[in-house]
């Protein structure tokens, strides 16, 4: 998926926050504190479509934009890309594991645990 620039991330934050396809105008309004031109937001959305990060669909005369992946899927992809940069994935994973909080470590343990049988007592 690739890394996003700062403005692209801001646009994606608006799309992720709403969870429904948005028009350029709605995204522009979501970025009102940045004082961006409407055409700037439209250009960023068009670039995100080109990067295959956002899908665009026609709604009457307007286009609606929606993320192709959730924020969590995007971040997981970035983490995998970062791991691909190292020559020693095991060492990178160990360093990462030692840097997370205990709650995050518990979440990792839970995610890595083998699935329980449906018939197994709880």
Per the CB < 8 A criterion, the answer to whether 31 and 8 are in contact is: no
pTM of the model: 0.78
CA dihedral 53, 76, 7, 99 (to 10 degrees): -170
Number of H helices, E strands in the chain: 6, 3
Domain boundaries, the chain: 6-67, 71-112
Residue range 6-67 forms a domain whose CATH class is mainly alpha
Per-residue pLDDT tens over the stretch 72-104: 999 999 889 888 898 889 898 889 888 989 999
Angle, CA 59 vertex, CA 53 and CA 63 arms, to 5°: 40
Listed residue (56, 32, 55, 40) closest to 8, CA to CA: 40
Per-residue pLDDT tens over the stretch 19-72: 999 999 999 999 999 999 999 999 999 999 999 999 999 999 999 999 999 999
pLDDT at site 39: 97
Other Cβ atoms closer than 10 A to 65: 26
């Amino acid at each position: 998926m690739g890394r996003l620039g700062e403005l692209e991330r801001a646009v994606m934050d608006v799309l992720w926050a709403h969870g429904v396809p948005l028009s350029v105008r709605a995204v522009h309004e979501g970025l009102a504190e940045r004082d961006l031109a409407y055409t700037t937001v439209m250009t960023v959305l068009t670039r995100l479509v080109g990067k295959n990060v956002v899908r665009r669909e026609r709604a009457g005369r307007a286009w609606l934009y929606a993320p192709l992946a959730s924020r969590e899927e995007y971040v997981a992809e970035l983490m995998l890309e970062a791991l691909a940069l190292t020559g020693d994935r095991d060492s990178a994973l160990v360093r990462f594991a030692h840097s997370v909080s205990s709650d995050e470590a518990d979440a990792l343990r839970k995610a890595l645990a083998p699935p329980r049988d449906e018939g197994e007592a709880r």
